Structure 1
Amino acid sequence: MDSDPVGNNILMQLVLLLCLTAVNAFFAAAEMAIVSVNKNKINMMADDNNKKAKMLQRLLKEPTKFLSTIQVAITLSSFFASASAATGISKPLGALFLKLHIPYASQISLIVVTIILSYFTLVFGELVPKRVALQKSEGISLAIVKPVHVFSKIASPFVKFLSISTSIVLKLLGMHNEDLEERVSEEEIRSLIETGQENGVFNEYEKSMIESIFEFDDKLAREIMTSRTNVYAIDINEPVADYIDELLETRHSRIPVYDDEIDNIIGILYVKDFIVEARKVGFEKVNIKSILHKPYFVPESKNIDELFKELQESKQYIAVLIDEYGGFAGIVTVEDLVEEVMGSIDDTGDEEEPYIEKLDSKSFLLNGLVTIADLNDELDLDIVSENHDTISGLLIDMIGIIPDEGDNRVVNIDNLTFKIEEIKDKRIERIQLTIEDKKKTESEDDEESED
């Protein structure tokens, strides 16, 4: 009895497809296992002279090269699987459909084979091996590291050629490999954090802290500084007796000192140095200039990640920020930088008043530094200002001048009435806000227009 050549051919093609799917599964599992393996554990095993762990260490040091090798293997196996299915299976299947008088037999057979092949490749060549590798990353990564290492040596010329080609294309597009790799890895980590929180690995606070670390690298010093209007500073030319009470009562341990005008910062006074010196010569006889520390000047546009490193290296606690015109913009302390990651650190000396205090159903007492955005969110308002961040800045712009102390002007914006309650150091400290009923305000406007 003669064997069926068509049947034998299909059987061989199926065996080939099975082998190619197994290759795909092997490299998919390798990728997931090595990427998700506990690196600290591998480092400890390498320190104990585990050869496979050392080999794995080398792979992890060059993730781009390793991932490119894996991608080449997966792409080639998928390509050959598709080509094999298209030539060896879809043609006999098309002939069968033709015998059954099915229209567009060859096209339909190709679509059917592609769908079936895609299903099996995705399930058995990608999803299942990756899921298994994720659960047993350490064992699998150590088991497959040798064959992956050998294949990476074989595929090295091709991978290098692809890397050079990719770099050329990226340069033509005005992009850089380093920027792209950093962005991709950050997005992947953020995704893992999100998944970790959903699965209970991270709580909300831990997730928020990790996200703050990423944001830390993108913020500028001026975004977190204490602005010049809110900085407590002293004039070197004033007698110590004029400010000694304020100096001893302040919760700050380091005070900027200026000469005549605030833009001319000449040093930083450490309160502890002042007290030590005062014990020797008396409070009112302290020579402030002799105990000043050199100020650490930085541009307000400096990245806070760089600023933090600089402050650590120079053993400084406070940075004096300078704007583009050379003027004093504000200060940033190490505590400010730490709070960007850890969240607010409540100091026992901090007695911060609420920015928005409810007086009754229609009246509120506002801190002049409350932002327009926060006020809108908190009280469901719709105040619009393109040029000002704080409510005090908006009111000063509408008044046209900086009010003097005791000036209790009233500013109306639609159905909102702002009354200045307190002014200090040429800055609006407190404002009383009264929210009138919108219908009432509209009816009053109509009466005025009729008159």
Structure 2
Amino acid sequence: MESRLFIEVSVLVILTLISGVLAMAELAIVSSRRERLQMLVDNGDKGALMALHLSREPTAFLSTVQVGITLIGILIGAFGSASLTDALAQLIAHVEVLEPYSRTIALAVVVGTITFFNVVLGELVPKRLALRNPERFAAALARPMSLLASVARPLVRLLTLATMFFLRVLGIKGDLSETTVTEEEIKVLVEQGAQAGVFEEVERDMVESIFRFGDKQLRSLMTPRTEIAWLDINDPEEVIRETISQSHHSRFPVCDGTLDRVIGTVDAKDLLPDSWAGKPFDLRAVLRPPLFLPETMLALRALERFKQTGIQGALLVDEFGGVEGMVTLIDMMEAIVGDIPTAEEIAEPPIVEREDGSYLVDGSLDVDDLKDLLDVDELPDEGDYQTLGGFIVSLIGRLPRVGDRVEWEDYRFEVVDMDGNRIDKVLIAKPPAT
């Protein structure tokens, strides 16, 4: 009796350990970084080579592991409850009060004990060990797991066909083995990596900016028409020199009387040789063909056009062909890495926090930066405007005046300065408690 009980317990322990090895191998292969496995391969580790192959084509291996763990779980439950329950029930029956319930109590104790040890030794402990050094365990277990996958291939194939048959009966078609990684999942991983110290804060911000960049239209990045520094081909040379010297830009549209009649663009550096030699320069001789893009074009597509044409700036036009603004490669870089301010902009940052906790904000602040400042995910009628100034106009419903106030959510917005019809400065504060 005792020897039989020992053998039965030993079988259960062995099955539990096998289940643990399968769980460890599964998590080790899935969690391993291919770059680290490749380093082990370069150092001559044959097990790492097989692990690398399994990580690249994991379908058959993972199916084998799942089938193995499921079958072992069934065997443990069936064998354990059948063999140990009777023995334990006989012991409990010696207690006269418990004798009528001895088998029920024994079954509950056996199932609970087997489940506990199977979860701990067959799942949690092996997986925790695998996570500590996944590449090492993957390399060590890859060879036997690959052999097991080869042996179990007919069974796995049969189960796969049966699965696909029942899915088709339910009207579900297609290959369900392929999974996609969503943008939100990547954002969560990057956020978790930043919290764990794997990524720097600036790296996290850049990744988030790249995702936002793909959804941006050019009009959200452009220098608006009213702020474009342009040269008139009809102006005297002295006026052109003055315009160039007073601007911090290096590339200028060249127009014939009005910004809507662009005849080309010019780089200031192309005018330097004649300027240094004291010769009068000829704008027409150094003109380059302009690049026109619709203001609604996505930034990623515009970046591709820049790469195709070699032109690093474009004039943006509306649906009627009128020039609405200008965008350059620098504008696109700033959308990803953040603003690259000039000396003047450093002296006057777009957001200034005041002592009372309110903010004095530039009206040209991008809506994405505004959402970060307000800590909100969406703004009302988003897409109809690109800046804080446009947001204020949308809320008020007309061109604002200095002193106009409007409230939204938990914030109060006050226009404190106007530059013509453009909102220059806005005071953002939480309204006082009543």
After TM superposition, the score normalised by the length of structure 1 is 0.68
Distance 1:420 1:233 in 2: 26
Matched, 1:152 2:149: yes
Matched, 1:125 2:118: no
Q: Is the 8 A contact 1:274 1:291 kept in 2?
A: no
Distance 1:178 1:299 in 2: 41
Matched, 1:31 2:21: no
Distance 1:234 1:315 in 2: 21
Structure 1 residues 51 and 14, CA gap change in structure 2 (3 angstroms): same
Structure 1 residues 256 and 410, CA gap change in structure 2 (3 angstroms): same
Number of the residue aligned with 1:112: 109
* Of 362, 365, 369, the match for 1:367: 362
Structure 1 residues 19 and 353, CA gap change in structure 2 (3 angstroms): same
Between stretches 60-69 and 279-288, larger displacement belongs to 279-288
> Shift in Å at residue 147 of structure 1?
0.8
* Of 22, 40, 47, the match for 1:52: 47
Structure 1 residues 234 and 132, CA gap change in structure 2 (3 angstroms): same
Distance 2:165 2:297 in 1: 31
Structure 1 residues 68 and 350, CA gap change in structure 2 (3 angstroms): farther
* Of 54, 66, 81, the match for 1:86: 81
Number of the residue aligned with 2:137: 140
Distance 2:205 2:368 in 1: 22
> Shift in Å at residue 126 of structure 1?
2.3
* Of 1, 10, 17, the match for 1:15: 10
Distance 2:305 2:66 in 1: 40
Q: Is the 8 A contact 2:364 2:388 kept in 1?
A: yes
Matched, 1:302 2:298: yes
* RMSD of equivalent CA atoms: 5.1
* Of 46, 54, 62, the match for 2:57: 62
> Shift in Å at residue 146 of structure 1?
1.0
Which residue type is aligned with residue 181 of structure 1? T
> Shift in Å at residue 109 of structure 1?
4.2
Q: Is the 8 A contact 1:416 1:436 kept in 2?
A: yes
Distance 1:221 1:342 in 2: 17
> Shift in Å at residue 353 of structure 1?
2.6
Deviations 1:402-435 (A, max 9, x none): 58xxxx65424479794563325x4233457899
SS at match of 2:417: strand
* Of 349, 353, 369, the match for 1:354: 349
* Of 401, 423, 426, the match for 1:428: 423
Equivalent runs, 1:312-323 vs 2, <5 Å: 312=307, 315-318=310-313
* Of 72, 79, 87, the match for 1:77: 72
Distance 2:78 2:318 in 1: 64
> Shift in Å at residue 25 of structure 1?
1.7
Distance 1:434 1:206 in 2: 30
Deviations 1:194-226 (A, max 9, x none): 26743x54444445455656x368643459623
Matched, 1:181 2:180: yes
Structure 1 residues 391 and 128, CA gap change in structure 2 (3 angstroms): closer
Number of the residue aligned with 2:390: 393
> Shift in Å at residue 128 of structure 1?
2.2
> Shift in Å at residue 149 of structure 1?
1.3
Distance 2:117 2:323 in 1: 66
Which residue type is aligned with residue 42 of structure 1? L
Give the % identical residues.
Answer: 26
> Shift in Å at residue 84 of structure 1?
2.6
Count of residues in Structure 1 that have an aligned counterpart in Structure 2: 421
Which residue type is aligned with residue 180 of structure 1? T
Structure 1 residues 409 and 342, CA gap change in structure 2 (3 angstroms): closer
Unaligned residue ranges in structure 1 (runs of 5+): 440-451
Q: Is the 8 A contact 2:213 2:335 kept in 1?
A: no
Q: Is the 8 A contact 1:224 1:336 kept in 2?
A: no
Distance 1:436 1:229 in 2: 35
Between stretches 189-198 and 268-277, larger displacement belongs to 189-198
Number of the residue aligned with 1:445: none
Which residue type is aligned with residue 292 of structure 1? R
After TM superposition, the score normalised by the length of structure 2 is 0.70
Structure 1 residues 257 and 159, CA gap change in structure 2 (3 angstroms): farther
Q: Is the 8 A contact 1:299 1:323 kept in 2?
A: yes
Matched, 1:232 2:246: no
Distance 1:419 1:377 in 2: 20
Structure 1 residues 371 and 189, CA gap change in structure 2 (3 angstroms): closer
Between stretches 145-154 and 314-323, larger displacement belongs to 314-323
Number of the residue aligned with 1:411: 404
Distance 2:231 2:166 in 1: 58
Structure 1 residues 271 and 229, CA gap change in structure 2 (3 angstroms): same
Q: Is the 8 A contact 1:300 1:329 kept in 2?
A: no
Number of the residue aligned with 1:194: 192
Which residue type is aligned with residue 39 of structure 1? R
Q: Is the 8 A contact 2:89 2:106 kept in 1?
A: yes
> Shift in Å at residue 336 of structure 1?
4.5
Unaligned residue ranges in structure 2 (runs of 5+): none
SS at match of 1:181: coil
Distance 2:81 2:190 in 1: 38
SS at match of 1:89: helix
> Shift in Å at residue 17 of structure 1?
1.9
Structure 1 residues 220 and 364, CA gap change in structure 2 (3 angstroms): closer
